Amino acid sequence: MKVFCGRANPTTGAVEWLEEDENYDYHQEIARSCYADMLNDKDRNAKYFQGIRAAVGRVKERGERAVVLDIGTGTGLLSMMAVTAGADFCYAVEVFKPMADTAVKIVEKNGFSDKIKIINKHSTEVTVGPDGDMQSRANILITELFDTELIGEGALPSYEHAHRCLVQEGCEAVPHRATVYAQLVESKRMWSWNKLLPIHVRAEDGEKIIVSPPEMENCPGAPSVYDIQLNQVPLHDFAALSEVVTMFSVDFSKPVNRASAHYAVQLKPIKTGTAQVVLSWWDIDMDPAGSIKCTMAPYWVQAAFEDIPWRDHWMQCVYFLPNEEPVSQGQSVVLTAFRDDYSVWYKLQKGRNEEATTAIHEETPVCLCQAHLLWNRPRFGELNDRSRTTQYVHALEKVLKPNSVCLSISDGSLLPVLAHHLGAEEVFTLESSAISHSLMQKIFKANHLEDKIKIIEKHPELLISSDLEDRKVSLLIGEPFFSTSLLPWHNLYFWYARTAVSSHLTSDVTILPRSASLHMMVVEFKDLWRIRSPCGTCEGFDVHIMDEMIKNSLDFRESREAEPHPLWEYPCKSISDPLEVLLFDFQQAVPEHTLRKEGSLNLSRTGKSHGVVLWMEYHLAPGLSVSTGLVQVSGEKGFCQWTPHCKQAVYFFNTVTEPESLINNPSAVAYAVSFNPKTGEVIMDFKLKLM
């Protein structure tokens, strides 16, 4: 059966109908998931294997058969560890059919088919009994159901059901327990990811300040956690206001309750400051004694931070308090963690623990201002970036005239406010969604501009003259930022929008930005390459996993496409100089012909060529540009600094999955990059030229 699914093209804006059938190939989705990262996490795998061996040993010492239930088996790795450790039988549950099918092949290839049964169901649908999926309840429960927030993948409901229906009372569990930690901090940088801070604009008639609406000031923010690599955040970016405290623990060997709960901890600030953010992480004990521990603690908590294992499937959490709270050194406050089935949030209260714990559980925070629904965390940071705003102000000052009729096309941009303050005669802003319309109304009202900037809630192709009060646009502006964009070139939607409104522009219209360019550079990653590399498992345990994923339906082949990553979190160094590849001229409409460039990029530094990073630069006015990628390359080794507000595109070479000699010895990279204006796609091909 074939199914047609509608999808909006993020670059062109057109709705495309894609054909899918029951044999849809999921190999790319799996290849881009975190399986490679998890399988390559030697610390994780070694700790799991140690914990599983110990659990099987304890069961055997009691004279019992070791029957294992492995929930969320994925590749079947943990089940194979259990059988290797001496388990008599293992039920391995995997709900995702393509993954379950591959697990069957992996288990068979490694000779474990007689002791491992793959069950392609959600664990809550598994039955026990003579005619059930499991012949008997298990006495060892193995799981890997955790995300960065610990419970975000539904661990609690799965554990609750397993204890009620699938495992014996007093079963062994690997991991045995999890503990969540928190630290209260003040951080201007992190707080800029959550609130719109005042923006100062110097105009001819004095300084103007753009302020956020009251709804945003009092908004509890987005309900989702912001998970990042805290190990890439320097100490000068935050001030610790408390010691690290234990918030709560979950014992997985006992019945687990999914019901909402809260945990209050009294703490005395170690420093006077403004509490804004809670940094949080967890660790898991693989055994009851806590002697086998796997921790997510960031570098400033760990003694030997240079040996911290790198992981991308588990990171650390940034939680934003509902409001900034001043705290004084030594004066007690109470930090409360609330949780429901899938998420955690925090609140800070003054006073003693007894007073604070009388507070009843609060509902999950929900965004009230709509800004957190339209703008993600990096976008908040981008809007609060003073140097970036200054570039736009200087560019507007160069092109604005007293009689300028200005039209802004972006999602929830502050450029219309800047244009008005800098002297545009009339300002319109095109907002394509009800959310961006509503948000901009609130911002304009807070700045007393509701009667001075007109919001048009339409897609560009539907714009008519009366929307613009029969005026012609002499200045078309955009950042560009669109909430549907994932890859850097998706924001070329601005070009398509500019083309769609051409009939409403004056013959001598000024476009800001004037143009955009696509840039690329060959890099060596410190760690990110691991998500595409062949994987070992752990010391003393060797099975064939990746080769089976390569040969079967979950093909781990090179995608031949780029994928988005926030590279400020993933250190790398340049192997080549940056190169401008394509130029997009916004002064003209989108062309009908394909833009293409090919050539050879010499590698100027020694190192491992893991892939190519691509990004966009927007040229606002002569001498003024903003970048969505590279900020600078520093030092002889070529360490890269990236803008933290955008994701860059990463194209991994297939040599990441091949012998190191192919990675270490290229002399140049041959490239062919093209932009198809009909589809809005950037098509790329790279080949390493070996010495």
Q: Mean of the per-residue pLDDT values for the chain?
A: 90
pLDDT band at 9 (very low <50, low <70, confident <90, very high): confident
Number of domains in the chain: 4
The stretch 642-648 carries a mean pLDDT of 97
**Residue 623 is which amino acid?**
G
361/385 same-domain check = no
Task: Please state, in angstroms and as integers, the Cα–Cα distance from residue 503 to each residue in 429, 462, 513, following that order.
Answer: 17, 12, 19
351/420 same-domain check = no
pLDDT of residue 550: 46
431/477 same-domain check = yes
The stretch 130-140 carries a mean pLDDT of 97
pLDDT of residue 218: 86
Domain boundary among 305, 335, 368: 368
pLDDT of residue 205: 78
Question: In this predicted structure, which of 157-161, 358-362, 393-397, 398-402 has the lowest mean pLDDT?
Answer: 358-362
The answer as to whether 132 is a domain residue is yes
pLDDT of residue 556: 39
pLDDT of residue 24: 47
pLDDT at 560 over 80: no
pLDDT of residue 690: 76
Residue 456: strand pairing partners? 430
| CB-based contact 513:620 (threshold 8 Å) | yes
pLDDT band at 228 (very low <50, low <70, confident <90, very high): very high
- For residue 668, give both structure tokens: 């140049």
399/508 same-domain check = yes
pLDDT of residue 34: 54
pLDDT at 449 over 90: yes
pLDDT of residue 274: 98
Question: In this predicted structure, which of 13-27, 227-241, 474-488 has the lowest mean pLDDT?
Answer: 13-27
pLDDT of residue 615: 98
As a whole number of Å, the end-to-end CA separation of the chain is 50
pLDDT at 583 over 80: yes
500/521 same-domain check = no
pLDDT of residue 32: 43
pLDDT of residue 558: 42
502/436 same-domain check = yes
pLDDT of residue 547: 54
Domain boundary among 309, 344, 368: 368
pLDDT of residue 667: 86
pLDDT of residue 224: 83
Nearest to 239 by CA among 279, 202, 212, 209: 279
pLDDT of residue 357: 52
The answer as to whether 425 is a domain residue is yes
The answer as to whether 227 is a domain residue is yes
Task: Please state, in angstroms and as integers, the Cα–Cα distance from residue 676 to each residue in 442, 582, 592, 600, 682, following that order.
Answer: 38, 12, 9, 21, 7
353/405 same-domain check = no
pLDDT at 582 over 70: yes
pLDDT of residue 392: 97
pLDDT at 549 over 70: no
490/563 same-domain check = no
pLDDT at 28 over 70: no
pLDDT of residue 557: 39
614/519 Cα distance (integer angstroms): 6
DSSP state of 201: E
pLDDT at 356 over 60: no
pLDDT band at 38 (very low <50, low <70, confident <90, very high): confident
The answer as to whether 230 is a domain residue is yes
The stretch 661-686 carries a mean pLDDT of 88
pLDDT of residue 269: 97
pLDDT of residue 223: 77
pLDDT of residue 663: 61
188/285 same-domain check = yes
379/391 Cα distance (integer angstroms): 17
pLDDT at 33 over 60: no
325/450 same-domain check = no
| CB-based contact 238:186 (threshold 8 Å) | yes
For residue range 432-447, list pLDDT tens digits in order.
Answer: 899 999 999 999 999 9
The stretch 85-105 carries a mean pLDDT of 95
Please report, for the domain that includes residue 207, its CATH number: 2.70.160.11
85/193 same-domain check = no
The stretch 158-179 carries a mean pLDDT of 98
| CB-based contact 532:656 (threshold 8 Å) | yes
123/120 Cα distance (integer angstroms): 9
Domain boundary among 334, 368, 402: 368
pLDDT of residue 660: 61
% of the chain exceeding 70 in pLDDT = 89
pLDDT of residue 26: 45
| CB-based contact 538:598 (threshold 8 Å) | no
Q: Which residues are catalytic?
A: 144, 153
pLDDT band at 23 (very low <50, low <70, confident <90, very high): very low
DSSP state of 132: S
DSSP state of 674: E
pLDDT at 207 over 60: yes
The stretch 283-309 carries a mean pLDDT of 91
pLDDT band at 554 (very low <50, low <70, confident <90, very high): very low
Query: DSSP string of 347-384?
Result: EEEES-HHHHTTSPPPPPP--SSSHHHHS-HHHHHHHT
pLDDT at 659 over 60: no
The answer as to whether 685 is a domain residue is yes
Q: Which residue segment(s) compose the domain that 634 sits in?
A: 515-526+552-690
3-state secondary structure of 225: coil
Please report, for the domain that includes residue 38, its CATH number: 3.40.50.150
The stretch 485-497 carries a mean pLDDT of 97
pLDDT at 634 over 50: yes
The stretch 523-549 carries a mean pLDDT of 72
614/487 Cα distance (integer angstroms): 9
The stretch 508-520 carries a mean pLDDT of 98
pLDDT of residue 555: 38
pLDDT band at 351 (very low <50, low <70, confident <90, very high): confident
pLDDT of residue 537: 56
Question: In this predicted structure, which of 141-145, 203-207, 333-337, 613-617 has the lowest mean pLDDT?
Answer: 203-207
The stretch 486-498 carries a mean pLDDT of 97
**Residue 387 is which amino acid?**
S
Q: Is the bond preceding residue 175 a cis peptide, omega within 30 degrees? A: yes
565/649 same-domain check = yes
The answer as to whether 12 is a domain residue is no
The answer as to whether 403 is a domain residue is yes
pLDDT at 540 over 90: no
The answer as to whether 659 is a domain residue is yes
Q: Is the bond preceding residue 234 a cis peptide, omega within 30 degrees? A: no
